[in-house]
Amino acid sequence: MAKLSEKFKKEWQFFLNENNRITYNEQCKKCKNNCKQSFRARIISCPNFIMRS
């Protein structure tokens, strides 16, 4: 198995929770597209998410 670069490790640390498991935003968990966002961020840009007020 190839070693991961430092840049790749730092990028994925944003998605890791306290148990070192990849976790996505609640709205992204239900989505079938591959544009998943981290649980740490708000929905920034998603063509399939419409915020209801």
Domain range holding 6? Answer: 1-42
pLDDT tens figures, 7-42: 888 888 888 888 888 888 877 777 877 777 877 777
Q: Output the CA–CA distances (angstroms, integers) from residue 28 to 7, 15, 35, 51, in the order listed.
A: 24, 12, 8, 13
Q: What pLDDT score was predicted for residue 11?
A: 80
Q: What pLDDT score was predicted for residue 15?
A: 80
For 33, residues 6+ apart whose C-beta sits below 8 A from its C-beta are: 48
The token pair at 26 is 């609640």
Tell whether 53 is covered by a domain.
no
Q: What pLDDT score was predicted for residue 51?
A: 56
Q: What pLDDT score was predicted for residue 50?
A: 62
What is the tally of structural domains in the chain? 1
> Can you tell me the distance from the alpha carbon of 21 to that of 39, in angstroms, rounded to the nearest whole number?
11
Q: What pLDDT score was predicted for residue 49?
A: 63
| Better-scored residue on pLDDT, 1 or 45 | 45
